[in-house]
Amino acid sequence: MRGEGRGTRILLLGGTSETAPLATALAEAGYLVLVSTATDIPLDTGQHARIRKRTGGLDAESLAALAQAEGIRAIVDAAHPYATAAHLAAGAAAGKLRIPCLTYVRPSGLPADACVPSAATHEEAARLACEAGGPILLTTGSRNIAPYANAARSRGSAIFVRVLPVAESRAACRAAGVPEENIIAGRGPFSLADNRALIRKLGIKTLVTKDSGAAGGLAEKLEAARLENCRVIIVRRPPSCASETFGSISELVQALAERL
């Protein structure tokens, strides 16, 4: 497949651990890859000479403008499974420019036989998390903290939030009313031992997480919760709005070659 791209420019929307292998696979296929991430949080985007990087949030209009200015021939959407706005923007921009948009979807990390309570929204997850009483550990990121903080206050439950060690994440926690001492800053994925130690230290009774897949450390969270007799609530993935989705990097690269 090496050389098939012949300098064709691809815009890769990244931000997850799959960004580097995806960018590298595209570059090795001969494409010129512009990796776009919403934040400047350190992220490996691959070391290939055909890979460039830019940072900053993009809506549909600015994404289309960037793609047009860069001579982009296709968009590869590898944003986080829960980044609905990014997925919608990618599809809209590609539609406006009439170029392909291929979406990489990180495979689910839930075992087929898993019997774990789940919720469609953060509001529902917050309600379920507070029903059992006791301290709650929130591991869904720095967005959508407010529903959990509000529910915990109304029920008199303690809530701890594990977020990235960046100023924006701490600010989001403070804005939601989470006490400074209840903010756990760290960059995952976390090991089974890390999760068990935290659950035990804080006396956590309910852990709230997303289906972040194997790369997001979901299995380690589930097993830690099981071993520590801790309840788990999973916020389900939003419905996909993509027309073409792939769970394999090699299949996506092959499909891209066929489209172009």
DSSP string spanning 109-128?
-S-TT----EESSHHHHHHH
- H-helix or E-strand spanning residue 104: strand 101-104
pLDDT digits (tens, 9 = 90+) for 220-243: 999 999 999 999 999 998 877 777
CA distance 178 to 6: 51
Mean pLDDT for 83-88 is 89
- 63-75 in b/e form (b: 16+ CB < 10 A) is bbebbeebebbbb
What single-letter amino acid sits at 230?
C
pLDDT digits (tens, 9 = 90+) for 141-151: 888 999 999 99
What single-letter amino acid sits at 59?
D
The mean-pLDDT minimum among 21-30, 41-50, 81-90, 188-197 falls in 41-50
pLDDT of residue 1: 44
Residue ranges of domains in the chain, CATH in brackets: 9-107+239-259 (3.40.50.1000), 118-235 (3.40.50.620)
CA 17 to chain centre: 9
CA distance 126 to 217: 21
pLDDT of residue 25: 94
Mean pLDDT for 113-131 is 88
Dig out the tokens for 121 from the structure.
């929204």
pLDDT of residue 17: 82
* Percent above pLDDT 70 for the chain: 96
> Tokens 């194997």, residue?
214
Residues facing residue 235 across a β-bridge: 119, 210
Those residues with Cβ within 8 angstroms of residue 5's Cβ, 6 or more apart along the chain or in another chain? 26, 29, 30, 31, 32, 257, 260
Q: How many CB atoms lie within 10 A of CB 201?
A: 10
pLDDT of residue 5: 56
Q: Residue 245: which pLDDT band, with cuts at 50, 70 and 90?
A: confident
Q: What is the 3-state secondary structure (H, E, C) of 223-246?
A: HHHHHCCCEEEEECCCCCCCCCEE
pLDDT at 101 over 90: yes
CA distance 148 to 146: 5
pLDDT at 4 over 60: no
pLDDT at 127 over 60: yes
3-state secondary structure of 32: strand
Q: Residue 82: which pLDDT band, with cuts at 50, 70 and 90?
A: confident
Q: How far is CA 129 from CA 70, 126, 143, in A?
A: 46, 5, 17
